[in-house]
């Protein structure tokens, strides 16, 4: 993509000075504002942007999103076409290599992934050390991070061959670690990978295999899971991708960076939204209760989970694909009673001007929880499934950051709002707030310098 350069004229009303700031591809370099000063010893202007809502932290060629138009593309390919025509490992190759693989390239890639699914036997002992009710995501964070101790060559991030090896290892082994975390939580023996199965089929094998000599996954469920992994494979600079890039910028090994990304995904605002949808639907209970629930949402007493998105101001394109996946799954499992409730809730909400005017459309989380539940996955496994699908995207973002000559170790600026310098207070002169009715944190805010209050 060629750069389109123009300029922005800025007049500093504090000094009357005029500045010409380059505009490249619709963006302004934040560092350019450093030249805008009131005096020689002035630090210069900074951009204040909590949560990076309007700041581009990198240049990326991986994923394109147009939230207003409801568009999602991986390396230029629409998500709908990839979900319909490609396998998950084919999409993973696309994200990492930049192009769709040839038949030979895909065969080699699949073979590499398949033959790296085994993990060291010590990982099983490590997993056994967790309490029986440990959350699978907590176990996944720990075991993925622990892999770096088994592969010290992962620290050699400047070696392209070794980088590729770690990428293969992570995509292959996360399914094994994820299945181990589940089986430990229910007290089942660990099932080894089956190299004759597909990526999704092998994961189902490691999840559900019991006493049968060989597990045969249902082809409809296998395909549905593969599509769901595709839909989650990348989503631009989201919280977990940002964590992956930030940790990777310190030149940490990819296992450590991936553990950080999984930790970010562990948060309920990122990887746990589909669980909240299930809880909401269970609370509504029946179709007859939907109008009353909608009224409470409008009054601010309830939240409509699974609707709206930080980026999309239109129908999430992934949600359209998921509706088709749901039909495929329910042919095998039988209809989930929550599906009729969800479809009616969607119909009512999308015919209500209150939600339409606010551009609150169903997102990817609205139906995934219902599908996962129908397939037999407990809610604790929902973010784990998300992590499996997202791993190729994280790794593509990680490697792109490493190879970008403009990138440095991540180190955001801050706007300091605390005290100015003050004299040290001896112990016998300090006032205690523990015995008063004043909250210590509130007291701290009250004592802050009035011209620079804490917030």
Does residue 184 carry a catalytic annotation?
no
Query: Cα–Cα distance between 136 and 147 in angstroms, integer?
Result: 16
pLDDT of 451 > 50? The answer is no
Q: What is the pLDDT of residues 375-426, one digit of tens each?
A: 999 999 999 999 999 999 999 999 999 999 999 999 999 999 999 999 999 9
Give the model's pLDDT for residue 444. 61
Q: Average pLDDT, stretch 80-89?
A: 97
Residue position matching structure tokens 């930080």? 310
Higher pLDDT, 324 or 153: 153
What pLDDT does 3 receive? 57
CB 100 within 8 A of CB 90: yes
Structure confidence at residue 450 (pLDDT): 47
Compute the Cα dihedral for 388, 79, 24, 416 and give only its sign: negative
**Coil vs helix vs strand at 315:** coil
Taking the C-alpha atoms of residue 388 and residue 229, their distance in angstroms, rounded to an integer, is 7
What pLDDT shows up at residue 38? 93
Backbone phi, psi, residue 272, to 5°:
-110, 15
How far is it, in rounded angstroms, from Cα 366 to Cα 369? 7
The span from the CA of 429 to the CA of 379, in Å, is 53
Q: Where are the alpha helices (DSSP H) in 267-364?
A: 273-284, 290-298, 317-333, 337-350, 353-357
State pLDDT tens for residues 294-335. Answer: 999 999 999 888 887 667 666 678 888 888 888 889 999 988
Mean pLDDT (whole number) for 330-343: 86
What pLDDT sits at residue 436? 54
* d(C-alpha 36, C-alpha 227), whole Å: 50
CB atoms within 10 A of CB 135: 17
The count of other CB atoms within 10 Å of the CB of residue 334 is 9
The alpha carbon of residue 73 and the mean position of all alpha carbons in its chain are separated, in whole angstroms, by 16
pLDDT on residue 446: 56
Q: What angle do CA 382, 385, 388 make, to 5 degrees?
A: 155
* Length of the chain in terms of residues written: 455
How far apart CA 104 and CA 127 sit, in angstroms, is 37
Among 194, 253, 316, 365, the active-site one is 365
**pLDDT at residue 438, as a whole number:** 59
pLDDT for position 439: 65
* 4 vs 61: which has the higher pLDDT: 61
More confident position, 338 or 171: 171
Catalytic residue (choose from 309, 316, 340, 428): 309
Specify the pTM. 0.88
Q: What pLDDT shows up at residue 168?
A: 98
Is the pLDDT confidence value at 435 over 70?
no
Token pair for residue 190?
A: 């660990």
- The question of whether 365 is a catalytic residue gets the answer yes
Residue found under tokens 């597990």 = 215
For 221-272, write each residue's pLDDT tens digit. 999 999 999 999 999 999 999 999 999 999 999 999 999 999 999 988 888 7
* Percent of the chain whose pLDDT exceeds 70: 92
Dihedral of CA atoms 386, 387, 392, 397 in degrees, nearest 10, equals: 100
Marked catalytic residue, from 116, 120, 135, 270: 270
């Amino acid at each position: 993509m060629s750069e389109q350069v123009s300029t922005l004229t800025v007049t500093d009303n504090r000094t009357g000075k005029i500045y010409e700031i380059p505009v490249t591809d619709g963006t302004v370099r934040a560092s350019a504002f450093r030249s805008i000063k009131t005096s020689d010893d002035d630090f210069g202007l900074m951009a204040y942007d909590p949560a990076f809502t309007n700041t581009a932290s990198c240049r990326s060629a991986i994923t394109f999103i147009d939230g207003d138009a409801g568009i999602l593309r991986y390396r230029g390919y629409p998500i709908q076409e990839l979900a319909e025509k490609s396998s998950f490992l084919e999409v993973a190759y696309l994200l990492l290599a930049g192009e769709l693989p040839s038949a030979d390239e895909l065969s080699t890639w699949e073979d590499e992934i398949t033959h790296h699914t085994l993990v060291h036997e010590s990982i099983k002992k490590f997993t056994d050390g967790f309490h029986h009710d440990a959350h699978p995501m907590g176990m996944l964070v720990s075991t993925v991070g622990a892999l770096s101790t088994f592969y010290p060559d992962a620290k050699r991030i400047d070696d392209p061959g070794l980088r590729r090896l770690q990428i293969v290892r992570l995509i292959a082994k996360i399914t094994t670690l994820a299945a181990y975390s589940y089986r430990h939580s229910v007290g089942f023996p660990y099932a080894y990978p089956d190299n004759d199965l597909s990526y999704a089929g092998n994961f189902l094998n490691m999840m559900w295999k019991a006493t049968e000599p060989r597990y045969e996954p249902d082809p409809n469920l296998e395909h549905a899971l593969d599509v769901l992994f595709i839909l989650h494979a990348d989503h631009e600079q989201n919280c977990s991708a940002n964590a992956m890039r930030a940790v990777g910028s310190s030149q940490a090994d990819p296992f450590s960076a991936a553990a950080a990304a999984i930790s970010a995904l562990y948060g309920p605002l990122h990887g746990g939204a589909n669980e909240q949808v299930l809880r909401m639907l269970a609370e509504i209970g029946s179709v007859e209760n939907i109008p009353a629930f909608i009224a409470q949402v409008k009054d601010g007493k309830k939240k409509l989970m699974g609707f709206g998105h930080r980026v999309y101001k239109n129908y999430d394109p992934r949600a359209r694909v998921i509706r088709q996946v749901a039909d495929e799954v329910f042919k095998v499992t039988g209809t989930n009673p929550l599906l009729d409730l969800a479809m009616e809730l969607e119909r009512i909400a999308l015919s209500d001007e209150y939600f339409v005017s606010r551009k609150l459309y169903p997102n990817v989380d609205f139906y995934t929880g219902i599908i996962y539940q129908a397939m037999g996955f407990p809610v604790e496994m929902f973010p784990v499934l998300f992590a499996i699908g997202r791993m190729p995207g994280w790794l593509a973002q990680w490697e792109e950051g490493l190879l970008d000559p403009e990138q440095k170790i991540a180190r955001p600026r801050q706007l300091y709002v605390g005290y100015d310098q003050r004299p040290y207070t001896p112990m016998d002169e300090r006032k205690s707030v523990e015995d008063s009715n004043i909250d210590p944190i509130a007291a701290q805010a009250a004592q802050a310098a009035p011209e620079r209050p804490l917030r």
